[in-house]
A and B are shown apart, each in its own frame.
Chain A
């Protein structure tokens, strides 16, 4: 089966600019996650969707980050305006169901560099 798709793979922007990332989860997966992975660290959850509803966005910096999953399939993550500390890899993951031990499948990530 096809994996989680993300685009773009790389993005370089200047601080205070805006950027958007796109994720297409595995077909049929109800749960979608966005993680931020700063170099040298493990991924950190930003937001979790169940279908088109938000389950957990407690760690999303809502003053500059937003995400949506309008039709319960694809999702976009936006940063506006970007800061230097937003430089990281943004990973999208999906899982089939809400069960906690349901395996999460990760995409390749989008590497963001903020100059």
Chain B
């Protein structure tokens, strides 16, 4: 399939290492955040979400950290595997009537075997 993004910031890690992907979000009113994984030729896939009343949430091998003071979101992937290689997007949402997400520009994660 075609590449999702050829000129995205790239994070290259060794298999088994931990990865940290960062995102600066745009709207101080945002109160719901999601991390998506997008493999080449596929649509984005939900990884983990967090509400603004939390500063940390853990899933299986993934942790999301939220710092509302500086409008920063990070995704930590433990024991990174080759199958984690993809483009990662953070997305934000705000407002009571608005449902759609606003996506960031993405980071490409390359896992070296």
Q: What is the interface of chain A, defined by CB distance below 8 A to chain B?
A: 4, 31, 33, 37, 39-45, 48, 55-56, 89, 91, 93, 95, 98, 100-101, 103-109, 111
Q: Contact between A93 and B5 (Cβ–Cβ < 8 Å)?
A: no
Q: Contact between A108 and B99 (Cβ–Cβ < 8 Å)?
A: no
CA distance A108 to B97 in the complex (A): 27
Total interface residues in chain B, CB < 8 Å:
28
A91/B43 contact (C-beta < 8 A), A40-B7, A44-B103 known: yes
CA distance A86 to B64 in the complex (A): 34
Number of A-B pairs, beta carbon distance below 8 Å? 65
Q: Contact between A41 and B5 (Cβ–Cβ < 8 Å)?
A: yes
CA distance A43 to B43 in the complex (A): 10
Chain B residues in 8 Å Cβ range of A55: 99
Q: What's the minimum C-beta distance from B33 to chain A, rounded to whole angstroms?
A: 10
Chain B residues in 8 Å Cβ range of A40: 5-8, 105-106
